[in-house]
Amino acid sequence: MTKTALVTGAAAGIGKACSQRLARDGIAVGVLDLNLAGCEEVVSGIEAAGGRAIALQASIADRGQVSAAVEKLRAAFGPVTILINNAGISNFIAFEDLVERDWEKMLEINVIGTFIVTQVVLPDMKAAGWGRVVNISSSSAQSGSLEQVHYAASKGAVISMTRSLAQALGPMGITVNNIPPGSIMNTIMSEANRSRFQISPAQLAQSLPVRRLGAPDDIASACAWLVSEDSGYVTGQTIGVNGGRVLS
Ligand SMILES: NC(=O)c1ccc[n+]([C@@H]2O[C@H](COP(=O)([O-])OP(=O)(O)OC[C@H]3O[C@@H](n4cnc5c(N)ncnc54)[C@H](O)[C@@H]3O)[C@@H](O)[C@H]2O)c1
């Protein structure tokens, strides 16, 4: 039977690559983002390649918008048993300049948004007795990140949420894992961050054990495995996809 997935932050970058990959693997995909035009473009590409997808506009931090989007996805393709919590924001602010609103915004999207989407989708997984949740965290939560105290802390919360949810949802047949990406290029976020690198992309690549920078498809490949039947004995884990930037 065809499975249905929801991918958040799917109009660009890692979320777009995950949507395309899951669709290629025969999964019907809800392509959710703030950016509806971007979602529609991703859906057109998936359909042109023979896959099934629907564009959904919502902020993951707005429960009403998320519920309406998930309802649309269910109506189109049936119960949602795969969730890629990928949508997220980042910025750089020196610790001494951080104010409470910076924290609130970061936690509202990266942490509370992830919580809301997971809770809205959960009834479908529970009813099916089967589910896969993959949270996209960040290697900055593992290594620390200069001028990103609030961002790294929000992604640390995502890693921690993954572990607790794995315990809570495992008995329902649902696995919950997280991928902390590192040095993934050609996304809106990574391009915006590029000016912050102390070294050139070529030097960064040379500093990694695999000697290359990452691409959104590297994360999508790991997601494809984590949402498959093959990963059923894996839960609560942090699967680093970072070229060896962080070794655990
Ligand atoms: N690129 C990297 O190297 C890297 C490294 C570590 C972690 N990450 C994480 O990977 C995820 C994807 O990053 P990316 O590099 O593809 O970034 P990106 O900026 O290219 O894509 C993020 C997408 O999320 C969407 N989005 C933002 N806020 C949203 C909201 N409230 N509701 C719905 N959609 C929203 C944006 O519109 C955008 O399309 C993020 O969670 C990011 O923190 C990326």
> 102-112 pLDDT, tens per residue?
999 999 999 99
Strand 174-179 to strand 53-57: parallel, antiparallel, or no bridges (unpaired)? Answer: unpaired
For the ranges 152-166, 183-197, 201-215, 231-245, which has the lowest average pLDDT?
A: 183-197
Mean pLDDT of the chain: 97
d(CA 127, CA 122): 9
84 C-beta closer than 6 A to ligand 1: no
Residue 151 among the catalytic residues: yes
Tell the residue nearest (CA) to atom 2 of ligand 1. Answer: 184
Tell the residue nearest (CA) to atom 22 of ligand 1. Answer: 9
Q: Does the structure show a pLDDT above 90 at 12?
A: yes
* Interval between CA 148 and ligand 1 midpoint (Å): 15
187 C-beta closer than 6 A to ligand 1: yes
Provide the pLDDT for residue 248.
86
Q: What percent of the chain has pLDDT over 90?
A: 96
d(CA 66, CA 87): 12
pTM confidence score: 0.98
Torsion sign (Cα): 48, 52, 57, 61: negative
Grouping H, G, I as helix, E, B as strand and the rest as coil, residue 178 is strand
DSSP 137: -
Tell the residue nearest (CA) to atom 17 of ligand 1. Answer: 189
Q: Does the structure show a pLDDT above 80 at 197?
A: no
Tell the residue nearest (CA) to atom 13 of ligand 1. Answer: 14
* Interval between CA 151 and ligand 1 midpoint (Å): 12
For residue 84, what pLDDT band results from cuts at 50, 70 and 90? very high
Max distance between CA atoms of the chain, in angstroms, equals 53
Could you give all domains of the chain from N- to C-terminal order, each with its CATH number? 4-183+216-231 (3.40.50.720)
The single residue of 121, 133, 151, 154 carrying the catalytic annotation is 151
For residue 196, what pLDDT band results from cuts at 50, 70 and 90? confident
pLDDT in tens, 13-65: 999 999 999 999 999 999 999 999 999 999 999 999 999 999 999 999 999 99
Provide the pLDDT for residue 198.
80
* Interval between CA 116 and ligand 1 midpoint (Å): 17
6 C-beta closer than 6 A to ligand 1: no
Q: Does the structure show a pLDDT above 80 at 81?
A: yes
| pLDDT (average), residues 148-175 | 98
Q: Each residue of 36-72: b (16+ CB within 10 Å) or e?
A: eebbbbbbebbeeeebbbbbbbbbbbebebbbebbeb
